[in-house]
Chain A
Amino acid sequence: GAVVSQHPSRVICKSGTSVKIECRSLDFQATTMFWYRQFPKQSLMLMATSNEGSKATYEQGVEKDKFLINHASLTLSTLTVTSAHPEDSSFYICSAGRGGYGYTFGSGTRLTVV
């Protein structure tokens, strides 16, 4: 079946540095990628939607200059958290859309900013 690989699974970084999270569709082409953020014991909150070759569409309240999304190919999307701060610590999940076949989720990345 369709698999989405998300790396790294965990990352700890110092405040002020940037962190890149990768999301790859391994055996299918993902025309659309979604990036979510999940706080402890809360639901998934959509951050942005990206289509291959075009700029991402950010949800209200999400800083596009802070959360840079690149979807340069049909199999790779990246989320870069720039100048990370402790409040950016969270669980980030990507999801690849496969048209009428639904969505496939990555395993998530636990970001801790110290």
Chain B
Amino acid sequence: AQRVTQPEKLLSVFKGAPVELKCNYSYSGSPELFWYVQYSRQRLQLLLRHISRESIKGFTADLNKGETSFHLKKPFAQEEDSAMYYCALRETSGSRLTFGEGTQLTVNP
């Protein structure tokens, strides 16, 4: 069965520092990976997906099939990046998403 692991429940950095939110997955096929973000008192929203290979709000994530990872990175964190981040996986042939446990990112001034 597929599984998504985010080893850090809490991550705290200072403004301007680099940040990396880790995500590892286990799945026998070729998955589609996503990062979702939930700002305080707001709904979950898509941040980026690996097939788009884009940078959103300065964040990037590269799918590393060898390490089965999809870490989220930003070179210079901003205070407004403080939020809950979820890594999610979609199976090749299905439509359901499997979420990781989430990482609460706090960017301090």
Q: Which of B43, B45, B98 contacts A46 (CB 8 A)?
A: B98
CB <8 Å contact, B96 and A49: yes
Q: How large is the interface on A (under 10, 10 to 19, 20 to 34, 35 or more residues)?
A: 10 to 19
Query: Given A103-B46, A105-B43, A107-B43, are A46 and B97 also a contact pair (CB < 8 Å)?
Result: yes
CB <8 Å contact, B96 and A34: yes
* Cβ–Cβ < 8 Å partners of B95 in chain A: 32, 49, 97
* Cβ–Cβ < 8 Å partners of A93 in chain B: 43-44
Of the candidates B44, B46, B86, the one having the most CB atoms from chain A within 10 angstroms of its own CB is B44
Measured CA separation A46–B9 after assembly (Å): 20
* Cβ–Cβ < 8 Å partners of A49 in chain B: 95-96
Which residues of B67-98 are within 8 A (CB) of A?
86, 95-98
Q: Is residue B99 within 8 Å, beta carbon to beta carbon, of the partner chain?
A: yes
Q: Is residue B31 within 8 Å, beta carbon to beta carbon, of the partner chain?
A: no
Interchain residue pairs with CB less than 8 A apart (21): A32-B95, A34-B96, A34-B97, A42-B101, A43-B99, A43-B102, A46-B96, A46-B97, A49-B96, A93-B44, A95-B44, A95-B97, A97-B95, A102-B46, A103-B46, A105-B43, A105-B44, A105-B45, A107-B42, A107-B43, A108-B43
Smallest CB-CB A-B distances: 5 pairs: A105-B44, A107-B43, A43-B101, A44-B99, A43-B99
With A49-B95, A93-B44 already in contact, 19 other A-B pairs whose C-beta atoms are closer than 8 Å: A32-B95, A34-B96, A42-B101, A42-B102, A43-B99, A43-B101, A44-B86, A44-B99, A46-B96, A46-B98, A97-B95, A102-B34, A102-B46, A102-B49, A105-B44, A105-B45, A106-B43, A107-B42, A108-B43
